[in-house]
Amino acid sequence: MPVKTFGWHFLPPCSCILQFCCYNNDIMNQTHAETIARAALERVDPEQMIEQALSIEDNHLVVATENERHELDLTNFRRIVVLGAGKATAKMARAVESVLGDRVAEGVISVKYGHTAPLSKVKTIEAGHPVPDENSILAAQETVRIASEADEETLCIVLISGGGSALLTLPYSDGEHSLTLSDMQETTNLLLSSGATIQEINTIRKHISAVKGGRLAAHAAPATILSLILSDVVGDNLESIASGLTVPDPDSGADAWATVLRYQLQDRIPPNVVRLLQACKKDPHLDTPKPKDPVFNRVHNVLIGTNAQALEAARVKAEELGYNTLVLSSQVTGEAREIAKFYSAIAVDLVAGAKACALPACVLAGGETTVTIRGTGKGGRNQEMAAAFLAEIARRPKAFEGVTFLSAATDGNDGPTDAAGGFASTEILAAAHAAELSLEETLANNNSYEFLDRAGALFKTGPTNTNVCDLQILLVDA
């Protein structure tokens, strides 16, 4: 009997021997995909990266990356404080404490619940992500307190990684315009479900916040700021990472309002937010600090980790495992289920003998996709991509023999779930059939977590305490 899924029929393999061989290959490929992913995660471990980049030489604090080098004479500073926000900042702060030791006077970081590490001088506040909560405000208030006490003899080391936008939230208030946590939460929820890119979302976040869009640098001026930044943004634009806490904001209030109109949110976002954005559009004094603002005169923003570095480590591990590799891009964006069709097309071509990459092949890419919410299910963009890839397999399973696909978030939490992402293969599709799961219902309701969980296809790492966007790994047997 044919088995039905996602509106199509397919015939199971006609040979028990073929079934057994495919099963073994799928299991091996899934193990290889996980091994490759974990090698990528190890490369972008923030603690290791900062310990490698940061050092003290002749009483100078030196930060040296592959692309730049900065030296700060520590004799110029009476106090050193550490501030930070993002899913990776606990490990980043631990590395800074290791390098600077008792030179650190105090500090505070805001991390997602569970993304912690033991620290001695720096206080940790766990807060809400992707939607801010009361602790997000508490963390921002403490951060602003320390920053505002800084003077010309203070060195502020600011640790920034993905997630910082939600984890460090201080609603804008100037007397005439006063936003609330509820305003921030409602706006964030609407933006996250709109299909807007992270850059577009952050354009709005910067203009309704008292710390984003360079405003944290304004609070700390005239102190010297050294920001160590781990990129979770496609293209590594510093002004978009955690909404650019210490970076000049090139986006205007008009840009923020244009994003609202682009996604037809003007009648849905809170009235307080509407009034502030429209005022920012008209009055430059309400806007965020721009590139020539003197508050940035003593600011050094240093990028220490990227998705491209993770992909390079994945490539090396894949070649060690015997695969021919092809790295497509670190800047993949778009709707997750549409990007799944792109990867599935590459898989079909490779199975059919395309010469883009010799078999066995490992095709790698990274970036950050989006999901337009259609239902009320549970999942994330990587799980949705894996489910959509399975839907492509269901259309013509024989075209995907020997194919394994993994899409995963490098922070270990794909959307509001405890999984980093999910796998896709013919073996996983067979498991889904055995459990009588419907791909059609799953995608219609954005319920990829439950589907992949019951099919045994979730990829779980736990919180990784790093965050450099997502990884996609496509393996094709010879």
Q: Which domains does the chain have, with CATH numbers?
A: 3-43+308-476 (3.40.1480.10), 46-170+209-251+288-305 (3.40.50.10180)
User: pLDDT of 398-450, one tens digit each?
Assistant: 999 999 999 999 999 999 999 999 999 999 999 999 999 999 999 999 999 99
User: pLDDT of 338-393, one tens digit each?
Assistant: 999 999 999 999 999 988 899 999 999 999 999 988 899 999 999 999 999 999 99
Choice between 425 and 2, residue whose per-residue pLDDT is larger: 425
> Mean pLDDT score of the chain, rounded to an integer?
92
What is the maximum span of the chain, computed from C-alpha positions, in angstroms?
A: 79
User: pLDDT of 145-199, one tens digit each?
Assistant: 999 999 999 999 999 999 999 999 999 999 899 999 999 999 999 998 888 888 8
Residues of the chain with pLDDT > 70, as a percent, come to 94
- Token duo for residue 222: 């005239």
Strands 458-459 and 361-367: unpaired
Residue 329 confidence (pLDDT) above 70: yes
**Residue 97 phi, psi dihedral angles, 5° rounding:** -60, -40
Long-range CB contacts (< 8 A, 24+ apart) of 292-299? 292/248, 293/214, 293/218, 293/248, 294/221, 295/214, 295/217, 295/218, 295/221, 296/214, 296/217, 296/246, 296/248, 298/221, 298/222, 298/223, 298/224, 298/225, 299/217, 299/224, 299/225, 299/227, 299/246
Average pLDDT (107-125) is 96
Average pLDDT (66-91) is 96
pLDDT-derived band of residue 26, with 50, 70 and 90 as boundaries?
low
Partners of 367 in beta bridges: 332, 470
Residue 14 confidence (pLDDT) above 50: no
| The predicted structure's pLDDT at residue 47 | 95
| The predicted structure's pLDDT at residue 3 | 32
| The predicted structure's pLDDT at residue 7 | 32
Average pLDDT (128-137) is 95
Residue 25 confidence (pLDDT) above 80: no
d(CA 478, CA 470): 26
| The predicted structure's pLDDT at residue 306 | 95
